[in-house]
Amino acid sequence: MSVRYSAVKWNRNKRVYDCVLAAGILLYLGLFFLVGKLAWPGSPGISDEVLLIRALGTCAFLLLHVVLCIGPLARFDRRFLPLLYNRRHLGVATFLVGLFHGALATAYYHAFGRLNPLVSLLSTNTHYASLTAFPFEILGVLALLILFFMAATSHDFWLKNLSPSVWKALHMLVYPAYGLLVLHVTLGALHSEDSSLYVVLVAAGVATVAGLHLAAGWRERLRDSRVPGPEEQSDGERWIDVASVAEIPENRAKVVCLAGRERVAVFRYGGRLSAVTNVCAHQRGPLGEGKVQGGCITCPWHGWEYRPENGQSPPPFQERIATFRVRVKNRRVFLDPRPLAPGTPVEPAGIEEPSHDPLCTTPG
Ligand code: HEM
Ligand code: FES
């Protein structure tokens, strides 16, 4: 965890993930090259270099689609979570493949004139007012700069130093980068003979990314709009009716959305109930979608752990998250909506057993 910036340690899973990723990229490039050779045999415009530029460009663009789709997919199906754990590796791979594509394209189309290739790339085409002759390469350069910035700050060292919310906000730049690349490919395709195929494929990609995000957001809103049960006032305090005890599965949580859209996860474990913020201190993962393992709430995204009764990570880690008071009355779970300072210990609420047959109780 972040105490020594080693939250996500290099382990066997990561090595397997990276090997599969590298093999997948090589396989894609090889297949693209082979199919390209067969599809355009002897075509003068399609040299091996151009095929490689196209293979690398489409590969990076495809990887970016995977990066963008994993989040919403993991919300719908937990089997996508392993992909999410190492999404940053996918992001770095996207940048590297995009870099090779950009470098090769610059070398191939701009290295043989009088000008420096970079100067030539940035200054030769100035048809900014034209749709069909627009210097689409500039859009690729801008997107590549964003991808570089994200790859360079992807380590937990930056997450810790910039704070999770700043880091998250910076990494939202992936959406402008995606927008730039959609334009890069679409406008670039207008220069080429295969424009309709590229435009159809890009439209399908955009529809998939947008559709998945909208569906995940809609599901989230639907959950949030489920108003918690009636409030209860006692001792001058306000308690929110979260659910019945039976509605919360063992070692899992019920997530409740408070006014102001703050989400709280109420966990049931070993006959007790505790509540913590739903937001993980690492990258704001949804703790309520995780489970209690070995006495700790485990974040579903990268496995950070917190004790449910005090919101503290087990030693030697020092992360703290906000806790909330919980109580049980008539088998219903009530929550005090006021957050306590991160790491504040709270006595877990015991689950009341259903009342027994009065004939069996000890006579008084
Ligand atoms: C320095 C940055 C970049 C430059 C100079 C550049 C240049 C080019 C050029 C010249 C083409 C047309 C290639 C051809 O058909 O002959 C192209 C197409 C394309 N680029 Fe880029 N690009 C850059 C960055 C990127 C990045 C970062 C991505 C994806 C992450 C990307 C994805 C694509 C795709 C998918 C195509 C369409 C397929 C193709 O024709 O290769 N490009 N780019
Ligand atoms: S462990 Fe990464 S977001 Fe929770």
Cross-strand bridge partners of residue 296: 293
Q: Ligand 2 mean position to 163 CA, how many Å?
A: 13
> For ligand 2, which residues put their CB under 6 angstroms from it?
280, 282-283, 285, 299, 301-304
The 10 Å Cβ neighbour count of residue 308 is 26
Average pLDDT, the chain: 86
Greatest pairwise CA separation for the chain in angstroms: 103
Residue of 288, 280, 212, 296 lying closest to 256 (CA atoms): 288
Confidence class for position 357, pLDDT limits 50, 70, 90 = very low
Q: DSSP per residue over 141-172, as a string?
A: HHHHHHHHHHHHT-SHHHHHHH-HHHHHHHHT
* pLDDT confidence of residue 332: 92
Condensed to tens digits (0 to 9), the pLDDT of residues 117-129 reads: 888 888 888 888 8
Residue of 296, 319, 306, 303 lying closest to 3 (CA atoms): 319
Question: Whose C-alpha lies nearest to ligand 2, atom 1?
Answer: 302
Give mean pLDDT, residues 80-105.
92
In angstroms, the CA 86 to CA 15 distance is 10
Q: Ligand 2 mean position to 20 CA, how many Å?
A: 23
- For residue 2, is pLDDT > 80? no
- For residue 71, is pLDDT > 70? yes
Task: Tell whether ligand 1 has an atom less than 6 A from the beta carbon of residue 143.
Answer: yes
Condensed to tens digits (0 to 9), the pLDDT of residues 158-184 reads: 888 888 788 888 889 999 999 999 999
Q: Ligand 1 mean position to 148 CA, how many Å?
A: 15
Percent of the chain's residues with pLDDT above 70? 88
Q: DSSP per residue over 299-344, as a string?
A: -TTT--EE-TTT-BPPTT---B--EE-EEEETTEEEE--SPBPTT-
CB 70 within 8 A of CB 84: yes
- For residue 52, is pLDDT > 90? yes
- For residue 204, is pLDDT > 90? yes
Give mean pLDDT, residues 53-75.
95
Q: Which ligand is nearest to the CA of 301?
A: 2
Condensed to tens digits (0 to 9), the pLDDT of residues 123-146 reads: 888 888 888 888 999 999 999 999
In angstroms, the CA 77 to CA 227 distance is 24
Q: What are the residues whose beta carbons fall under 8 Å from the beta carbon of 226, sequence distance 6 or more?
A: 257
Task: Tell whether ligand 1 has an atom less than 6 A from the beta carbon of residue 61.
Answer: yes
Considering Cα of 41, then 45, then 47, then 50, what sign does the dihedral take?
negative
Please state the pTM of the whole predicted model.
Answer: 0.79
Measure the N-to-C terminal CA separation of the chain; round to a whole number of Å. 55
Which atom of ligand 1 has the smallest separation from the CA of 63? 30
As a three-state string, the secondary structure of 205-256 is HHHHHHHHHHHHHHHHHHHHHCCCEEEEEECCEEEEEEEEHHHCCCCCEEEE
Q: How far is CA 361 from the centre of its chain?
A: 54
186: left (phi over 0), alpha (psi -120 to 50) or beta: alpha
- In this structure, of 69-73, 276-280, 350-354, the range with the lowest mean pLDDT score is 350-354
Q: Ligand 2 mean position to 147 CA, how many Å?
A: 21
The 10 Å Cβ neighbour count of residue 65 is 17
The 10 Å Cβ neighbour count of residue 206 is 15
In angstroms, the CA 13 to CA 283 distance is 20
Residue type, 310: N
In angstroms, the CA 180 to CA 44 distance is 30
Count helices and strands (H / E) in the chain: 10, 12
Which atom of ligand 2 has the smallest separation from the CA of 283? 3
- For residue 190, is pLDDT > 90? no
Condensed to tens digits (0 to 9), the pLDDT of residues 279-338 reads: 999 888 899 989 999 999 999 888 899 999 999 999 888 899 999 999 998 889 999 999
* pLDDT confidence of residue 361: 38
Confidence class for position 76, pLDDT limits 50, 70, 90 = confident
* pLDDT confidence of residue 188: 87
Considering Cα of 198, then 40, then 139, then 85, what sign does the dihedral take?
positive
Condensed to tens digits (0 to 9), the pLDDT of residues 239-294 reads: 999 999 999 999 999 999 887 778 999 999 999 999 999 999 988 889 998 999 99
Q: Phi then psi for 66, rounded to 5 degrees?
A: -60, -45
